Structure 1
């Protein structure tokens, strides 16, 4: 659910003024006229308007497609009844990039321009001196792009193409020099670059590569750039030369400047950290979050198998959080950076491993006291070369817990990113980690790990694989010898998002991709069938990209997607809806199940942590997870290891 906040005292305090039922991600305003854009559905608007400075709001655009998303808005500087919106929409699983146009203050909208085939628009700019000249930027699987219109958005021409992964996320004309324009590729998690045009957007050239991000223009010739996870940089000659001003206080996603104040004030929007301001040209930053609500977007939720009231979650920059009362209260973990993964020791659950993202510190950590204190275990060699590493998945061998696997991506200056799998056979101790497999990646690398619970030399790993060139593919790899050798067992044009293994019959494996297709293998990954398809049009059965499985009753499978959670009691054959009460626009990012008690609790990560509890199904035989010394529950039954 989105929320709009307003400040009238230079960001000293914020007040929530509107709460639509969809996620918001764009704003445009002039005087008291404000537009807001976000996710939309046939019954949920994606564009909202206020004509009184945010006191009252009305819905002004609702898509006729399956869904749409508005990433950018722009108002005509002289004729404010003309407004533009840009984003993507879909009638099936493959979205189109679209620019919308209204000439009557948002009462009616037309699709002014569309790019088909897995595309989106993420940025808009209107020339302040010649408002019929517009720029729109975005990307597709083949790379980023910039389009230009000279007639107010009626006709468009592609004027620039970036390499794959460099999606255009921001555009701006210089406020005093109408022939000067800038663009940035700084989509979260993707490669970054800054571009400049000196002829009104007709031609472009790169002026800053792999150190760029959101930017702000300060006339006459100063530009500020906030690298997504690095430095604040400044140029006083229009982008020809650059100096480092300071470290970014977090994951920069937005940078703007107030030129009406003296001195000028820079505002920096950070991923999950809110707003920071600087009054000295970016040298020093202070938070300005009084009144803002900063929600965690979890990438992982881990449940202590012996103490189910102990929960751990993380979502990047905020680091990690721990709850000891089943999620009622949370405490932030100390001395750990941007975290994305947890793994809990199966026998000694006080011991927890965490994986994160850093360009100056360790990326794998261990706690021996349930997350109170942490020790860095592994720092990637690429950090000494000026690069960085993200560990996005961790897995512990349940039979030999001294064997630990970690998976992620290395960003190496001057080279393609590299997906990596690491292994330690000595409990993760410093100096015991070795790199066992790599693939050429674009930005994501490896982010799925799962171990066969009975034959633990068999592992699965999901990755973004660019070894065959662009566009990259989603690839699922398997090793049968504890990580020494790997082979792809499933590929897709889309990235895989989650994988679970049946604990009783580990030859049964499920995997889901980002386009909501769910695959099942009954032979350990040798062959696959699709058991849940992507919805193609309104009325199709819902699906999802996040899987969870009940280790005690593995026929019970859970699946989460946009605004929906489903449960199957027959291994994915049929599904029932558990999503009642979830906002339709809720986009889940993590899913976990606690089945250690007589009550099953499902945890969903999406703008915080949600929970759903139910009694154990009465017809199900509750069995422990013991693998060794198993005792059959009934005469003739087989232990899980014998099935």
Structure 2
């Protein structure tokens, strides 16, 4: 680990030296952020070199970097770089095959979605990257979310459904129907703008989106490649083009094989209307044209100081081509270019006002062109354009002058559109209907952009960071979302707090008292169920992590503990705070506590794990063999605070979960068979045999000492990052906040209680031997009952693999050679008695 830190420090020094030799006004940090060859420390150094002497401004990319930084901190490897697993598809298919056989209610989980099914009242649903339209049915529309999968509407966007929760990657960059065959759809996986998920290449459906298969252009996660945009030939569905981070590709056999036609990174591609042999492709600084179906290319436009280029064409005049450029200096508007001769020549039409900033009149500077940049042209008016950045702008004269068409704040005399626009498309069936894909979902205009309405009903794609549920009211949960604030679930969902929502708490003494937060530890309090809020953290002179941890005392609702650079405590619900630690070394990212007045507190930052048993008077730095990666989450056994579990970040195989039973003096690695994905959250189930649930980048798993290992606990749960888990003990439920598919709930593990506990109705006179067994196992019953007894054999993930009638007062032999090796539960049940016994078959 010391060698790793030394290497990272050395690399950081080198990049800082290189940065100071460059023009400090240039957004080198954006280039470095997207460079997969750099360490996270190098990216942070580049970002800090640019921002250290600048004040934070909205719409300039600051938050997008911090969001990406938070994501990557949990997913770096020994070399300090983003390190993704090679076998994501194989791993997921193996686990899903196991779970799909589960017939019982339980061990595999029984997840159902709690919502929101569409937007909360007053806010969007979550981010959408792309939209496309069925070639013959105007009511059929398909969209793609960066971490929520593919969604289809059969009623013009009135409602949406999905069937892609089981894809190996539910991030979607682009999606295209084959114009000549609506049963064929191609999908570019991943996240074109935000890196919230990673690409597995191009997928294809041949049944209108009911099922999906990989194509010859497939990636494993470890390659860190990206697929951006797609084009499908208008009359031949087997000819398809893809722009990627490794070049421009073409397939002529429906995606079976692909040929790279041009090396480079190209984010946007378009056909010349009516001539699919003419293709326009855009790099970060150029527009390049092919007139022979991609066999050769000619550079037609080079744009000085450009960061990213988007292209648009119109069937109203196929010779018209527009190119929108965001600049390399600050991500703001660099210019709009027009060609009237099919790309042979381009003319700069405008470079002001700033179409890509936050200002309603375009008077500000900068933007985030690398994150949100969109362009479209009317299919019936070659001079009617729309540009999307933070806001939406329109031109009626070919780009010479511009007017605001959609503003990110409602009630400002301009139609509202959610901030950050990733795609704008005209419906191919209606020249007055325009769709915008934003960080809030999809918006639709039916009057050529004069008015906009969000169309997010049933669109369940919330990217949740955290949640906090009532301890007594089952349907009262506060959740924090990326891009869409904090939202409260009661009988419906309501937007209650703005900004990017983070950690949440509902008081256990009064469910109308609740706490929400924004990034960096801006904690707010409400006494009236979320109607009114006041900031309570402004007296703390430190800033917290992107997702700042804070918790409430189990017994005293007046006490809160929060982690910034140090640990802070309030005994009056946040009116005043006291610092109860004194150290440096990074922002605290997790915290847990128990005992009277939270006497025992554990917390961690990127480098260290700390503990106090006297409420913060004295702290101990916990050492020991805790593997690599940062501590993501801590669980303390409430009955025995010396028993603690921590889970770890990163792709460090076999280094996922550690247990101490002596307050941190020694540690045991209990990672067992957990797959090699970051473990983001851990909870201990009370009154169980050390029952643990963990949420990972690939689902939920359960462990207890009866099992001795982890079992998948994710039946019907989408293949989505699980950000946080929380138990609702009153109802024996567990909840999962996911980053891309909202809030979910399952019954708890049915065998979580100690299976050896006896009850009045238990079959006590049972002998099962040998245990472990190999080829045969014997069951002896000497019970004073007269009814038949049924043996149900259940494997560790809930599959009923056999059912046998057992004779009482006899020795019953069971052939176990036909069962795979593993852990089983033998459930013996009669009309009046039962017994559950753990059996190991070797």
What TM-score does the superposition give when structure 1 sets the normalisation length?
A: 0.61
Is the 8 Å Cα contact of residues 687 and 753 (structure 2) preserved in structure 1?
no
Residue 187 of structure 2 corresponds to 36
In the alignment, structure 1 residue 377 sits paired with structure 2 residue 551: no
Residue 567 of structure 1 corresponds to 702
**How far apart, CA to CA, are the structure 2 residues paired with 1:475 and 1:342?**
25
SS of residue paired to 1:125: strand
Residue 507 of structure 2 corresponds to 345
The structure that is strand-richer by fraction is 1
SS of residue paired to 1:545: strand
Q: Choose the corresponding residue for 1:549, options 684, 704, 717.
A: 684
Going from structure 1 to structure 2, the CA distance change for 1:28 and 1:400 (only over 3 Å counts) comes to same
Q: Choose the corresponding residue for 2:516, options 355, 366, 373.
A: 355
How far apart are residue 35 of structure 1 and its match? 1.7
Going from structure 1 to structure 2, the CA distance change for 1:335 and 1:24 (only over 3 Å counts) comes to closer
Is the 8 Å Cα contact of residues 679 and 694 (structure 2) preserved in structure 1?
yes
Residue 48 of structure 1 corresponds to 204
Is the 8 Å Cα contact of residues 566 and 579 (structure 2) preserved in structure 1?
no
In the alignment, structure 1 residue 364 sits paired with structure 2 residue 528: no
In the alignment, structure 1 residue 105 sits paired with structure 2 residue 244: no
How far apart are residue 456 of structure 1 and its match? 3.9
Is the 8 Å Cα contact of residues 724 and 736 (structure 2) preserved in structure 1?
yes
Q: Choose the corresponding residue for 1:269, options 433, 437, 445.
A: 437
**How far apart, CA to CA, are the structure 1 residues paired with 2:549 and 2:267?**
32
Residue 125 of structure 1 corresponds to 269
Is the 8 Å Cα contact of residues 306 and 596 (structure 1) preserved in structure 2?
yes
1:290-301 alignment, distance < 5 Å:
292-301=458-467
How far apart are residue 69 of structure 1 and its match? 8.8
> Which shifted more, 420-429 or 334-343?
420-429
> Which shifted more, 391-400 or 146-155?
146-155
Residue 304 of structure 1 corresponds to 470
How far apart are residue 256 of structure 1 and its match? 0.2
**How far apart, CA to CA, are the structure 1 residues paired with 2:517 and 2:322?**
43
Going from structure 1 to structure 2, the CA distance change for 1:595 and 1:19 (only over 3 Å counts) comes to closer
Deviation by residue 1:596-640 (Cα, 9 ceiling, x = unmatched): 57xx43222342413132254235889xxxxxxxxxxxxxxxxxx
How far apart are residue 376 of structure 1 and its match? 0.8
Largest Rg, 1 or 2? 2
In the alignment, structure 1 residue 224 sits paired with structure 2 residue 366: no
In the alignment, structure 1 residue 451 sits paired with structure 2 residue 451: no
**How far apart, CA to CA, are the structure 2 residues paired with 1:162 and 1:379?**
44
Going from structure 1 to structure 2, the CA distance change for 1:72 and 1:478 (only over 3 Å counts) comes to same
Higher relative contact order (CA 8 A, sep 6+): 2
Residue 5 of structure 1 corresponds to 152
**How far apart, CA to CA, are the structure 2 residues paired with 1:216 and 1:399?**
55
How far apart are residue 561 of structure 1 and its match? 2.7
Deviation by residue 1:511-562 (Cα, 9 ceiling, x = unmatched): 3325475253748779988653998xxxx67774332222555832222334
**How far apart, CA to CA, are the structure 2 residues paired with 1:281 and 1:483?**
61
Is the 8 Å Cα contact of residues 149 and 162 (structure 2) preserved in structure 1?
no
Q: What is the root-mean-square deviation of aligned Cα atoms in Å? A: 6.0
SS of residue paired to 2:503: strand
**How far apart, CA to CA, are the structure 2 residues paired with 1:154 and 1:356?**
53
Deviation by residue 1:416-467 (Cα, 9 ceiling, x = unmatched): xxx99876443124x87999999999xxx876443355654745255xxxxx
The structure that is helix-richer by fraction is 2
**How far apart, CA to CA, are the structure 2 residues paired with 1:29 and 1:514?**
37
Going from structure 1 to structure 2, the CA distance change for 1:282 and 1:149 (only over 3 Å counts) comes to closer
**How far apart, CA to CA, are the structure 1 residues paired with 2:580 and 2:451?**
39
Q: Choose the corresponding residue for 1:603, options 735, 739, 742.
A: 735
What TM-score does the superposition give when structure 2 sets the normalisation length?
A: 0.49
In the alignment, structure 1 residue 427 sits paired with structure 2 residue 595: no
Q: Choose the corresponding residue for 2:231, options 67, 75, 78.
A: 75
